[in-house]
Structure 1
Amino acid sequence: MGLFSRKPKLPPAARPPLADGERVLAWAVVGDGALGAGGLGGVLVASNLGLWLPGRDARLGWHDVLKAVWSGRELTVTPAERVAERTGYVVVADGPAETYLLLEPGDLPHQVRARVTRSVAYTEHHPVPGGAGRIAARRVPGVDGLTWTVRYDPGTPADDEPVLAETDGLVAAARAVTAPADL
Protein backbone atom coordinates (compact mmCIF):
# COMPACT_ATOMS: atom_id res chain seq x y z
CA MET A 1 0.00 0.00 0.00
CA GLY A 2 1.17 3.51 -0.75
CA LEU A 3 1.64 6.27 1.78
CA PHE A 4 -1.90 7.62 1.41
CA SER A 5 -3.72 4.43 0.44
CA ARG A 6 -6.30 3.04 2.81
CA LYS A 7 -7.10 -0.53 3.68
CA PRO A 8 -10.41 -1.63 2.19
CA LYS A 9 -13.45 -1.56 4.45
CA LEU A 10 -14.39 -4.67 6.36
CA PRO A 11 -16.79 -6.68 4.15
CA PRO A 12 -20.35 -6.64 5.57
CA ALA A 13 -20.41 -10.46 5.77
CA ALA A 14 -17.35 -10.37 8.06
CA ARG A 15 -18.64 -7.59 10.32
CA PRO A 16 -19.27 -8.80 13.89
CA PRO A 17 -22.47 -7.86 15.73
CA LEU A 18 -21.16 -4.62 17.22
CA ALA A 19 -22.73 -3.11 20.34
CA ASP A 20 -24.06 0.45 20.43
CA GLY A 21 -21.08 2.79 20.40
CA GLU A 22 -18.69 0.04 19.34
CA ARG A 23 -16.57 0.75 16.28
CA VAL A 24 -14.06 -1.22 14.21
CA LEU A 25 -10.46 0.00 14.68
CA ALA A 26 -8.57 -2.57 12.60
CA TRP A 27 -9.09 -5.97 11.03
CA ALA A 28 -7.14 -8.67 9.25
CA VAL A 29 -7.96 -11.80 7.31
CA VAL A 30 -6.69 -14.93 9.05
CA GLY A 31 -4.73 -17.61 7.18
CA ASP A 32 -4.35 -17.68 3.44
CA GLY A 33 -6.39 -14.56 2.73
CA ALA A 34 -9.72 -16.23 1.99
CA LEU A 35 -12.68 -14.98 4.01
CA GLY A 36 -14.38 -18.37 3.93
CA ALA A 37 -18.01 -19.21 4.59
CA GLY A 38 -19.65 -17.60 7.58
CA GLY A 39 -17.82 -14.28 7.29
CA LEU A 40 -16.29 -13.98 10.76
CA GLY A 41 -14.68 -17.40 10.46
CA GLY A 42 -11.69 -15.93 8.67
CA VAL A 43 -11.39 -12.40 10.10
CA LEU A 44 -9.94 -11.02 13.30
CA VAL A 45 -11.50 -7.67 14.24
CA ALA A 46 -10.30 -5.16 16.86
CA SER A 47 -12.90 -2.72 18.15
CA ASN A 48 -12.82 -0.06 20.83
CA LEU A 49 -14.39 -2.61 23.21
CA GLY A 50 -12.38 -5.73 22.46
CA LEU A 51 -11.26 -8.38 20.04
CA TRP A 52 -13.54 -10.47 17.84
CA LEU A 53 -11.74 -13.78 17.26
CA PRO A 54 -12.66 -16.26 14.52
CA GLY A 55 -14.84 -19.09 15.77
CA ARG A 56 -16.23 -17.13 18.74
CA ASP A 57 -19.74 -15.73 19.00
CA ALA A 58 -18.79 -13.01 21.47
CA ARG A 59 -16.16 -10.33 21.75
CA LEU A 60 -13.16 -10.86 24.06
CA GLY A 61 -12.92 -7.64 26.07
CA TRP A 62 -9.51 -5.98 26.26
CA HIS A 63 -9.53 -6.54 30.03
CA ASP A 64 -9.92 -10.29 29.42
CA VAL A 65 -6.76 -10.60 27.30
CA LEU A 66 -3.97 -11.88 29.58
CA LYS A 67 -1.34 -11.96 26.84
CA ALA A 68 -1.07 -10.99 23.19
CA VAL A 69 2.15 -11.74 21.30
CA TRP A 70 2.92 -10.63 17.75
CA SER A 71 5.67 -12.60 15.97
CA GLY A 72 5.63 -10.57 12.78
CA ARG A 73 3.33 -13.08 11.07
CA GLU A 74 1.25 -14.62 13.84
CA LEU A 75 -0.81 -13.11 16.62
CA THR A 76 -1.17 -15.33 19.70
CA VAL A 77 -3.91 -14.36 22.16
CA THR A 78 -4.23 -15.87 25.64
CA PRO A 79 -7.63 -15.13 27.18
CA ALA A 80 -8.34 -15.08 30.92
CA GLU A 81 -10.52 -17.86 32.31
CA ARG A 82 -12.38 -17.15 35.55
CA VAL A 83 -11.46 -19.68 38.22
CA ALA A 84 -13.06 -18.23 41.36
CA GLU A 85 -14.92 -15.14 42.64
CA ARG A 86 -13.52 -13.60 45.82
CA THR A 87 -14.62 -10.48 47.68
CA GLY A 88 -13.27 -7.58 45.63
CA TYR A 89 -11.48 -9.60 42.94
CA VAL A 90 -11.64 -12.55 40.56
CA VAL A 91 -9.07 -15.35 40.35
CA VAL A 92 -8.15 -16.04 36.71
CA ALA A 93 -5.96 -18.51 34.85
CA ASP A 94 -4.59 -18.68 31.34
CA GLY A 95 -7.14 -19.96 28.87
CA PRO A 96 -5.97 -21.90 25.83
CA ALA A 97 -3.75 -19.71 23.65
CA GLU A 98 -5.11 -19.10 20.15
CA THR A 99 -2.71 -18.34 17.28
CA TYR A 100 -3.71 -16.64 14.03
CA LEU A 101 -1.61 -16.26 10.88
CA LEU A 102 -2.03 -12.71 9.53
CA LEU A 103 -0.44 -12.24 6.11
CA GLU A 104 -1.62 -8.61 5.84
CA PRO A 105 -1.95 -7.51 9.48
CA GLY A 106 -2.17 -3.78 8.81
CA ASP A 107 -2.72 -1.87 12.06
CA LEU A 108 -4.22 -4.83 13.93
CA PRO A 109 -1.14 -5.86 16.01
CA HIS A 110 -0.57 -2.24 17.03
CA GLN A 111 -4.21 -1.79 18.07
CA VAL A 112 -4.17 -5.02 20.09
CA ARG A 113 -1.00 -4.00 21.94
CA ALA A 114 -2.21 -0.46 22.58
CA ARG A 115 -5.67 -1.50 23.80
CA VAL A 116 -4.48 -4.32 26.06
CA THR A 117 -1.78 -2.07 27.54
CA ARG A 118 -4.24 0.79 28.03
CA SER A 119 -6.62 -1.50 29.93
CA VAL A 120 -4.00 -2.20 32.63
CA ALA A 121 -4.10 0.34 35.46
CA TYR A 122 -2.04 -1.64 37.99
CA THR A 123 -0.03 -4.85 37.90
CA GLU A 124 2.36 -6.30 40.45
CA HIS A 125 3.77 -9.77 41.09
CA HIS A 126 3.82 -10.82 44.77
CA PRO A 127 5.02 -13.84 46.71
CA VAL A 128 2.37 -15.73 48.67
CA PRO A 129 2.80 -18.83 50.89
CA GLY A 130 3.90 -21.69 48.64
CA GLY A 131 4.14 -19.65 45.44
CA ALA A 132 3.31 -16.29 43.92
CA GLY A 133 0.66 -14.43 41.98
CA ARG A 134 0.05 -11.36 39.86
CA ILE A 135 -2.47 -8.80 41.05
CA ALA A 136 -3.89 -6.63 38.30
CA ALA A 137 -6.44 -3.85 38.03
CA ARG A 138 -7.97 -3.37 34.61
CA ARG A 139 -10.14 -0.67 33.06
CA VAL A 140 -13.34 -2.06 31.57
CA PRO A 141 -15.23 0.09 29.05
CA GLY A 142 -18.55 1.24 30.48
CA VAL A 143 -17.65 0.27 34.07
CA ASP A 144 -16.72 2.84 36.72
CA GLY A 145 -13.61 2.07 38.70
CA LEU A 146 -11.19 -0.79 38.23
CA THR A 147 -11.78 -4.53 37.94
CA TRP A 148 -9.32 -6.55 40.06
CA THR A 149 -7.91 -9.96 39.18
CA VAL A 150 -5.34 -12.36 40.61
CA ARG A 151 -3.47 -14.89 38.48
CA TYR A 152 -1.47 -17.40 40.52
CA ASP A 153 1.77 -18.85 39.22
CA PRO A 154 1.61 -22.56 38.31
CA GLY A 155 2.00 -24.74 41.39
CA THR A 156 0.75 -22.12 43.84
CA PRO A 157 -1.77 -23.69 46.26
CA ALA A 158 -4.54 -21.23 45.38
CA ASP A 159 -7.16 -22.86 47.63
CA ASP A 160 -5.03 -22.87 50.80
CA GLU A 161 -6.28 -20.55 53.54
CA PRO A 162 -2.87 -18.84 54.10
CA VAL A 163 -2.67 -18.08 50.35
CA LEU A 164 -6.21 -16.67 50.30
CA ALA A 165 -5.60 -14.55 53.40
CA GLU A 166 -2.33 -13.15 51.99
CA THR A 167 -3.97 -12.49 48.62
CA ASP A 168 -6.92 -10.70 50.25
CA GLY A 169 -4.46 -8.44 52.07
CA LEU A 170 -2.38 -7.77 48.96
CA VAL A 171 -5.46 -6.86 46.91
CA ALA A 172 -6.75 -4.58 49.69
CA ALA A 173 -3.35 -2.82 49.86
CA ALA A 174 -3.24 -2.41 46.07
CA ARG A 175 -6.77 -1.01 46.04
CA ALA A 176 -5.81 1.51 48.73
CA VAL A 177 -2.74 2.63 46.74
CA THR A 178 -4.77 3.12 43.55
CA ALA A 179 -7.81 4.76 45.15
CA PRO A 180 -8.33 8.39 44.16
CA ALA A 181 -7.24 10.80 46.87
CA ASP A 182 -9.94 12.88 48.54
CA LEU A 183 -9.47 16.56 47.80
Structure 2
Amino acid sequence: MGLFSRKPKLPPAARPPLETDERVLAWAAAGNGEGDGVVVATNLGLWLPGRGHRLGWHDVHKAVWSGRELTVTPAERVAERDGYLVVADSPAETHLLLDPGELPHQVRARVTRSVAYTQQHPVPGGAGRIAARRVPGTDGLTWTVRFEPGTPADDPEVLAETDRLVAAARTATTPGDA
Protein backbone atom coordinates (compact mmCIF):
# COMPACT_ATOMS: atom_id res chain seq x y z
CA MET A 1 0.00 0.00 0.00
CA GLY A 2 1.24 3.44 -0.80
CA LEU A 3 1.73 6.19 1.71
CA PHE A 4 -1.66 7.74 1.07
CA SER A 5 -3.59 4.55 0.32
CA ARG A 6 -6.44 3.92 2.69
CA LYS A 7 -8.58 0.92 3.33
CA PRO A 8 -12.06 1.42 1.89
CA LYS A 9 -14.68 2.76 4.27
CA LEU A 10 -16.86 0.25 6.06
CA PRO A 11 -19.87 -0.38 3.78
CA PRO A 12 -23.05 1.14 5.29
CA ALA A 13 -24.81 -2.26 5.18
CA ALA A 14 -22.05 -3.77 7.34
CA ARG A 15 -22.00 -0.92 9.87
CA PRO A 16 -23.11 -2.03 13.34
CA PRO A 17 -25.57 0.12 15.36
CA LEU A 18 -22.96 2.47 16.86
CA GLU A 19 -23.61 4.75 19.82
CA THR A 20 -23.45 8.51 19.27
CA ASP A 21 -19.86 8.84 20.56
CA GLU A 22 -18.64 5.53 19.10
CA ARG A 23 -16.31 5.58 16.10
CA VAL A 24 -14.87 2.86 13.85
CA LEU A 25 -11.10 2.39 14.27
CA ALA A 26 -10.56 -0.63 12.01
CA TRP A 27 -12.55 -3.38 10.34
CA ALA A 28 -12.04 -6.51 8.29
CA ALA A 29 -14.27 -8.89 6.36
CA ALA A 30 -14.58 -12.22 8.18
CA GLY A 31 -14.61 -15.65 6.57
CA ASN A 32 -14.29 -16.21 2.87
CA GLY A 33 -15.70 -12.82 1.96
CA GLU A 34 -18.99 -14.34 0.80
CA GLY A 35 -21.14 -12.46 3.27
CA ASP A 36 -19.79 -13.97 6.50
CA GLY A 37 -19.86 -10.55 8.07
CA VAL A 38 -17.28 -8.11 9.36
CA VAL A 39 -15.26 -7.68 12.52
CA VAL A 40 -15.35 -4.03 13.59
CA ALA A 41 -13.14 -2.43 16.24
CA THR A 42 -14.43 0.83 17.72
CA ASN A 43 -13.25 3.06 20.54
CA LEU A 44 -15.78 1.28 22.79
CA GLY A 45 -15.30 -2.36 21.83
CA LEU A 46 -15.44 -5.12 19.27
CA TRP A 47 -18.35 -6.06 17.03
CA LEU A 48 -18.15 -9.72 15.95
CA PRO A 49 -20.25 -11.40 13.24
CA GLY A 50 -23.30 -13.16 14.61
CA ARG A 51 -23.52 -11.03 17.75
CA GLY A 52 -26.20 -8.40 18.00
CA HIS A 53 -24.18 -6.34 20.46
CA ARG A 54 -20.73 -4.91 21.02
CA LEU A 55 -18.25 -6.76 23.21
CA GLY A 56 -16.60 -4.07 25.37
CA TRP A 57 -12.80 -4.08 25.49
CA HIS A 58 -13.02 -4.81 29.22
CA ASP A 59 -15.07 -7.94 28.43
CA VAL A 60 -12.43 -9.45 26.13
CA HIS A 61 -10.54 -11.91 28.31
CA LYS A 62 -8.13 -12.93 25.58
CA ALA A 63 -7.52 -12.14 21.91
CA VAL A 64 -5.02 -14.06 19.78
CA TRP A 65 -3.94 -13.25 16.23
CA SER A 66 -2.47 -16.18 14.29
CA GLY A 67 -1.61 -14.19 11.18
CA ARG A 68 -4.86 -15.29 9.49
CA GLU A 69 -7.36 -15.85 12.28
CA LEU A 70 -8.49 -13.69 15.17
CA THR A 71 -9.62 -15.74 18.17
CA VAL A 72 -11.51 -13.83 20.86
CA THR A 73 -12.37 -15.29 24.26
CA PRO A 74 -15.07 -13.18 25.93
CA ALA A 75 -15.44 -13.05 29.71
CA GLU A 76 -18.82 -14.15 31.05
CA ARG A 77 -20.09 -12.73 34.33
CA VAL A 78 -20.73 -15.59 36.75
CA ALA A 79 -21.38 -13.78 40.04
CA GLU A 80 -21.33 -10.32 41.57
CA ARG A 81 -19.47 -9.92 44.85
CA ASP A 82 -18.89 -6.86 47.01
CA GLY A 83 -16.69 -4.65 44.82
CA TYR A 84 -15.89 -7.13 42.04
CA LEU A 85 -17.30 -9.56 39.50
CA VAL A 86 -16.47 -13.24 39.19
CA VAL A 87 -15.98 -14.07 35.51
CA ALA A 88 -15.31 -17.19 33.47
CA ASP A 89 -14.27 -17.76 29.87
CA SER A 90 -17.08 -17.93 27.33
CA PRO A 91 -16.46 -20.14 24.30
CA ALA A 92 -13.76 -18.68 22.05
CA GLU A 93 -14.86 -17.25 18.71
CA THR A 94 -12.48 -17.56 15.73
CA HIS A 95 -12.78 -15.45 12.59
CA LEU A 96 -10.69 -15.82 9.43
CA LEU A 97 -9.55 -12.37 8.25
CA LEU A 98 -8.17 -12.41 4.71
CA ASP A 99 -7.35 -8.68 4.65
CA PRO A 100 -6.95 -7.78 8.35
CA GLY A 101 -5.37 -4.35 7.91
CA GLU A 102 -5.05 -2.56 11.24
CA LEU A 103 -7.67 -4.70 13.00
CA PRO A 104 -5.34 -7.11 14.90
CA HIS A 105 -3.18 -4.17 16.06
CA GLN A 106 -6.22 -2.21 17.27
CA VAL A 107 -7.63 -5.24 19.12
CA ARG A 108 -4.31 -5.89 20.89
CA ALA A 109 -3.78 -2.22 21.76
CA ARG A 110 -7.34 -1.69 23.05
CA VAL A 111 -7.49 -4.88 25.13
CA THR A 112 -4.03 -4.18 26.60
CA ARG A 113 -4.95 -0.55 27.35
CA SER A 114 -8.10 -1.64 29.19
CA VAL A 115 -6.04 -3.63 31.74
CA ALA A 116 -4.89 -1.49 34.67
CA TYR A 117 -3.90 -4.36 36.99
CA THR A 118 -3.61 -8.13 36.70
CA GLN A 119 -2.13 -10.61 39.13
CA GLN A 120 -2.46 -14.35 39.66
CA HIS A 121 -2.96 -15.42 43.31
CA PRO A 122 -3.17 -18.78 45.05
CA VAL A 123 -6.42 -19.40 46.93
CA PRO A 124 -7.44 -22.48 48.96
CA GLY A 125 -7.79 -25.36 46.50
CA GLY A 126 -6.65 -23.48 43.42
CA ALA A 127 -5.86 -20.03 42.04
CA GLY A 128 -7.51 -16.93 40.69
CA ARG A 129 -6.51 -13.98 38.54
CA ILE A 130 -7.51 -10.60 39.86
CA ALA A 131 -7.82 -7.89 37.23
CA ALA A 132 -8.83 -4.25 37.15
CA ARG A 133 -10.07 -2.95 33.81
CA ARG A 134 -10.84 0.50 32.47
CA VAL A 135 -14.40 0.72 31.15
CA PRO A 136 -15.28 3.56 28.76
CA GLY A 137 -17.71 5.98 30.37
CA THR A 138 -17.09 4.62 33.89
CA ASP A 139 -15.07 6.40 36.54
CA GLY A 140 -12.51 4.26 38.29
CA LEU A 141 -11.71 0.62 37.60
CA THR A 142 -13.93 -2.44 37.28
CA TRP A 143 -12.52 -5.37 39.26
CA THR A 144 -12.88 -9.01 38.23
CA VAL A 145 -11.69 -12.40 39.41
CA ARG A 146 -11.30 -15.39 37.10
CA PHE A 147 -10.73 -18.66 38.96
CA GLU A 148 -8.56 -21.35 37.41
CA PRO A 149 -10.48 -24.50 36.38
CA GLY A 150 -10.99 -26.82 39.36
CA THR A 151 -10.84 -24.03 41.95
CA PRO A 152 -13.82 -24.40 44.35
CA ALA A 153 -15.21 -20.93 43.62
CA ASP A 154 -18.23 -21.35 45.94
CA ASP A 155 -16.12 -22.43 48.94
CA PRO A 156 -16.46 -19.89 51.81
CA GLU A 157 -12.67 -19.98 52.43
CA VAL A 158 -11.97 -19.25 48.76
CA LEU A 159 -14.47 -16.37 48.74
CA ALA A 160 -13.08 -14.90 51.96
CA GLU A 161 -9.51 -15.06 50.64
CA THR A 162 -10.59 -13.61 47.28
CA ASP A 163 -12.42 -10.75 49.03
CA ARG A 164 -9.21 -10.04 51.01
CA LEU A 165 -6.99 -10.19 47.90
CA VAL A 166 -9.25 -7.87 45.88
CA ALA A 167 -9.43 -5.38 48.77
CA ALA A 168 -5.62 -5.41 49.07
CA ALA A 169 -5.21 -4.91 45.30
CA ARG A 170 -7.69 -2.04 45.32
CA THR A 171 -5.83 -0.37 48.17
CA ALA A 172 -2.47 -0.87 46.46
CA THR A 173 -3.72 0.69 43.20
CA THR A 174 -5.58 3.65 44.71
CA PRO A 175 -3.52 6.83 44.42
CA GLY A 176 -2.67 8.28 47.81
CA ASP A 177 -3.14 11.88 48.85
CA ALA A 178 -0.13 13.75 47.52
TM-score band, normalised by shorter chain: over 0.9
Between Structure 1 and Structure 2, how many residues are aligned? 178
Provide the secondary structure at the position in 2 that maps to 1:31: coil
Q: Does 1:14 align with 2:17?
A: no
Q: Which of these residues, 135, 144, 161, is aligned with residue 140 of structure 1?
A: 135
Q: Which residue of 2 aligns with 1:4?
A: 4
Alpha-carbon RMSD across the aligned residues, in angstroms, is: 0.7
Q: Which of these residues, 84, 87, 91, is aligned with residue 92 of structure 1?
A: 87
Flag as ranges the 4+ runs of structure 1 deviating above 6 A: none
Provide the secondary structure at the position in 1 that maps to 2:162: helix
Q: Which of these residues, 20, 39, 45, is aligned with residue 50 of structure 1?
A: 45
Q: One-letter code of the match for 2:7?
A: K
Q: Which residue of 2 aligns with 1:164?
A: 159
Tell me the distance in 1 between the aligned counterparts of 2:20 and 2:135. Answer: 16
Q: One-letter code of the match for 1:8?
A: P
> 1:40-67 CA distances to partner (integer Å, 9 max, x unpaired)?
x510000000000000111000000000
Q: TM-score, normalised by structure 2?
A: 0.98
Tell me the distance in 2 between the aligned counterparts of 1:94 and 1:3. Answer: 40
> 1:147-174 CA distances to partner (integer Å, 9 max, x unpaired)?
0000000000000000000000000000
Q: TM-score, normalised by structure 1?
A: 0.96
Stretches of structure 2 that go unaligned for 5 or more consecutive residues are none
Tell me the distance in 1 between the aligned counterparts of 2:33 and 2:49. Answer: 13
Q: Percent identity?
A: 82
Tell me the distance in 1 between the aligned counterparts of 2:153 and 2:104. Answer: 33
Provide the secondary structure at the position in 2 that maps to 1:169: helix
Tell me the distance in 2 between the aligned counterparts of 1:159 and 1:31. Answer: 40
